[in-house]
Amino acid sequence: MGEGHVIMIIVVHVNDIFAVGRKERCDKVGRDLNEMVPVKNLGELRWYSVCFCERDVEGGVLKISQQRFAEELAAEYGVEWGQSVPLSFSVKPSDFDVNEASADVPFREMVGSLIWLATQAGPDNANAVRAEARYCASPKMVHWKAALGILGYVRRTSWMGITFERGVVTGMSMQVFVDADYASKAADRRSVSRGLVMCVWRLMLPDASMPCIPVFEDNQGAI
């Protein structure tokens, strides 16, 4: 924050609004807005866009969870519990009979809900949901079963949420984890997932007085 400048973030979703900044400034925004349109101040942020927020001001911790939404979604589709990973290695969404009729199931609706969860407080589901979302036009039963598996994982881990912690930055560092094996295309040995780090960074690191970036490769992909 520069001298004479005030930084404030105001988030609007339909008819829900919350502001991030100094408390006195946020309160003033609420009062000024109330002079133009009726608004209700609900105090400390707890619920927003189906997300439950918990904040420990002293400890510098913010936790965001969508547990209630995840549990309601699982109950809607009759999923009680699930696996320990979003998508098992044994599931191959790209391997199916093209002549098989499309499954008469609410696949798009489920994928849309899973995308919502992945972009809010469940980034660990994002890659699995991405793989399933490719088949929304004509889903087969293998895709439906895989989507149910992802939902089961979401139900099992719904209590975790995502946690942000305040910390002191003592230096800049980066680590890269790469999965470049042939897990999803074992038949023709073509890798469809990979990690990419721009090589130009390597040339810039000495000038920035930064160490090299350690890259961790999985065993199967390194063979």
- Spatial separation of the C-alpha atoms in residues 100 and 102, rounded to whole Å: 6
Q: Which pLDDT does position 172 carry in this prediction?
A: 58
Return the number of other C-beta atoms located less than 10 Å from residue 113's C-beta.
Answer: 21
Pair 79, 70: CB distance under 8 Å: no
pLDDT tens digits for range 114-160 = 998 888 888 888 888 888 888 888 888 888 888 999 999 988 988 88
- Spatial separation of the C-alpha atoms in residues 53 and 72, rounded to whole Å: 18
Q: Which pLDDT does position 179 carry in this prediction?
A: 61
Q: Which pLDDT does position 43 carry in this prediction?
A: 81
Q: Which pLDDT does position 182 carry in this prediction?
A: 46
Q: Which pLDDT does position 223 carry in this prediction?
A: 47
Q: Which pLDDT does position 219 carry in this prediction?
A: 60
Half-sphere exposure of 191 (CA within 13 A, CB side): 11
CA-only gyration radius of the chain, Å: 23
Q: Which residues pair with 61 in a beta bridge?
A: 56, 165
- Spatial separation of the C-alpha atoms in residues 2 and 5, rounded to whole Å: 5
Blockwise average pLDDT, block size 10, the chain, 223 residues: 70 83 84 86 83 87 90 89 75 73 88 89 85 88 89 88 77 64 51 50 67 67 50
Statement: the pTM of the whole predicted model exceeds 0.75 = no
Half-sphere exposure of 81 (CA within 13 A, CB side): 2
Q: Which pLDDT does position 191 carry in this prediction?
A: 52
Strand segments (E) across 57-151:
61-65
Q: Which pLDDT does position 106 carry in this prediction?
A: 92
Q: Which pLDDT does position 198 carry in this prediction?
A: 47
